[in-house]
Amino acid sequence: MKLTDESLRSFRVAKVFQENSDKINCFDFSPNGQAIISSSDDDSIVLYDCGEGRPKRTLYSKKYGVDLVRYTHAIDTALCSSNKIDDTIRYLSLKYNKYIRYFPGHDKKVVALSMSPADETFISASLDKTIRLWDLRVPNCQGLMYLQGKPVCAFDPEGIIFAAGVNSEIVKLYDLRAFDKGPFANFEIQQDKTCEWTGLKFSNDGKRILISTNGSFIHLIDSFRGVVIHSFRGYNNSKAVALESSFTPDSQFIMTGSDNGKIHVWNGESGVKVAVLNGKHTGPITCLQFNPKFMTFASTCSNMVFWLPTIDDS
């Protein structure tokens, strides 16, 4: 089934899971699309089976809390950032519910965590105005960048380049093999003082970067020239919530949640809105991602919602 305007408009809520008693902070699809891991303010990590469409297991991190969560390349391990005690990143065995390794260094909240698609490297960004480069196999930080403001960061699809969004006004591109030489490109984006950048993602074809905000717009920029291709608006975010935006796996469409339970979808080429979907969410849709392998996506408030298309458009 190919993603088209019509097939995207056909998506409906397939299942609603109420495993959490508080807001879901983050979730991540496994690279093979078979599983989801989610983290919540209720200190729980819930694992879902996407094939069977059901929650599989719940783990707890009562001591440290859990904020951001990312699968590594192995489906039974994940990286977690904390929202209690300290800002150490932890490498968790999901199989044994034990920490394999600790990555201390940040001294303020970790606001971005990105696993390299190529190897055991990952990067983190923090309110301490640093980006740190790590290797899963070593507890010590492998690289450290001091920045002039709050950063967000992400790897490109090849794992060769990473982008840092700094102070909600500039995107810096780094070559992983020579990051200590500084960025090889700087893209200044006209600043909007009414909101902050809250996330940054590359499209799967590497040609575009999506900048999420806690305002009521998102930017789509050309990752080679740094120009803004489109700024998508027209969705509710009156409470200034950090709403996750995402590409579809074919890089053609952009999706974001809103604070009134609706999901908005645009064509990345034309900039035209192609769908508004009613998510039946009880609160702002803070997390939203399309499955990397299957024709389904998920969205969250305090509930986890699975979506499926209702027409065959193949």
pLDDT by residue (tens digit) across 21-45? 899 999 999 999 999 999 998 989 9
Tokens 């694992």 correspond to 47
Q: Would you say 6 and 286 are in contact if contact means Cβ atoms under 8 Å apart? A: no
- pTM, two decimals, is 0.94
List the structure tokens of 199: 């996330």
* Run of H or E including 24: strand 24-29
Classify 17 as helix, strand or coil: strand
pLDDT score of 110 more than 70: yes
CATH C-level class of 5-24+118-308? mainly beta
pLDDT score of 313 more than 80: no
Instruction: Please count the other Cβ atoms lying within 10 Å of the Cβ belonging to residue 282.
Output: 11
Classify 178 as helix, strand or coil: helix
* Run of H or E including 37: strand 35-40
List the structure tokens of 112: 């971005």
pLDDT score of 83 more than 90: no
Distance CA 175, CA 163 (A): 9
In 3D space, the residue among 128, 227, 127, 246 whose CA is nearest the CA of residue 171 turns out to be 227
In 3D space, the residue among 251, 212, 202 whose CA is nearest the CA of residue 232 turns out to be 212
Average of per-residue pLDDT values in the chain: 93
Q: Would you say 211 and 191 are in contact if contact means Cβ atoms under 8 Å apart? A: no
Distance CA 177, CA 76 (A): 28
DSSP strand E in 53-207: where? 54-60, 69-71, 77-80, 89-93, 98-103, 110-115, 121-126, 130-135, 138-146, 151-155, 161-166, 170-175, 185-188, 197-202
Question: Span 137-156, mean pLDDT?
Answer: 94
pLDDT score of 303 more than 50: yes
Hey, what amino acid is at 302? Answer: S
Share of the chain above pLDDT 90, in %: 86
